[in-house]
Amino acid sequence: MPVLDTPAVQKLEGVLVVDADALDSAALQPLLEGSGKTLVLRGSERGIRARVADLGASPRLVPLPPSVPDASAGAVVSALVDCHQRLVSSLEIQGRMELELRHTQKMDAVGQLASGIAHEINTPIQFVGDSVFFLQGAFEDLVALLELMRSLVGEEQVVSDFMEEIDLTFLLEEIPRAFERTRGGCDRVSTIVRAMRHFARADAVDAAPADLVGALKSTVVVASNEVKFVADVELDLEPLPLVTCRLGDLNQVFLNLLVNAAHAIADADRGRGTIRVSTRALGEHVEIRISDTGCGIPDAIQSRIFEPFFTTKAIGRGTGQGLAISHAIVVERHGGELRFETSQGEGTTFIVRLPVQPRRSA
């Protein structure tokens, strides 16, 4: 037949199977109306190209080997349909990967921003810390001077009245405490700055030996703003060997799991909860556990939580990419394992197991 009307062709809009030698230009004209046609050819491809050019059309031309009999044309088209469907599926996967890449690039930008902020904050904090240290010493000198003046001044009543007026006893008690609070605040800001810088600098392209215990401590500090209002964090960090990894990627995993734990506790709505972070060495592997006392994961969605874009969170609280990206980082990029243990209404533990040395293919 000049045009093979097969079920396979009907599945693929815009495809016509044509016997090129059996159709003249007049017969092709109505077949080429519209755009985006694909012609699957039997016969002379050169001849059909010339005729469609005369008609001003530009369909996609796919040659069909002359050795294929009429009875097999439908099977060939079915194969083409299958190829098309696989291509569409591949494009969908590519689209998801591009979204994941954009998300990762966004995290890179955040890391760079954090690094810049850390640099800007660290210098004035050093000035403040040095100034407080100086003032503390100066205050001690002033106290000594005051005592000396008291011993030399004959008008003791005048001095006593002035001391009462300025409440010197209160000042002598509170000023040192104020200095300690100020220095403590400076130390806290410096700790945050160091954690931010550690978190931002870790984003190396190549795998390298890394201290995961230090990375976890820094990430807990970075995540403190998400965690501190809903949970206390308990650390049980056993020493680990250096792990060859892409530390920036693993920092992102740890951050995702900590933020998810905080959200789970908030969603449970049972008051302040606990997040426990623990590590242990297991021979050629290391294991990191991040547990929460949140709401647990319902049975109905447990098989889907690592799927891209799957989320049960309200709009604005997550894209459904955090666990999917974390799974890809741990399993695909590091040859590790990411799994969870959960109990409805009691909480969830995510377990990250990583090889100390990567596989050759990693």
pLDDT score at 190: 79
pLDDT score at 4: 46
Residues of the chain below pLDDT 50:
1-12, 35, 71, 109, 315-316, 319, 361-362
pLDDT score at 290: 97
pLDDT score at 227: 87
pLDDT score at 355: 96
pLDDT score at 169: 79
The second-level CATH assignment, the architecture, of 205-362 is 2-Layer Sandwich (3.30)
pTM above 0.75, yes or no: no
Give the start-to-end residue ranges of the domains of the chain. 7-68, 104-201, 205-362
HEC sequence for the chain: CCECCCHHHHHCCCEEEEEHHHCCHHHHHHHCCCCCCEEEEECCHHHHHHHHHHCCCCCEEEEECCCCCHHHHHHHHHHHHHHHHHHHHHHHHHHHHHHHHHHHHHHHHHHHHHHHHHHHHHHHHHHHHHHHHHHHHHHHHHHHHHHHHHHHCCCHHHHHHHHHHCCHHHHHHHHHHHHHHHHHHHHHHHHHHHHHHHHHHCCCCCCEEECHHHHHHHHHHHCHHHHCCCEEEEEEECCCCCEEECHHHHHHHHHHHHHHHHHHHHHHCCCCEEEEEEEEEECCEEEEEEEECCCCCCHHHHHHCCCCCCCCCCCCCCCCCHHHHHHHHHHHHCCCEEEEEEECCCEEEEEEEEECCCCCCC
pLDDT score at 10: 42
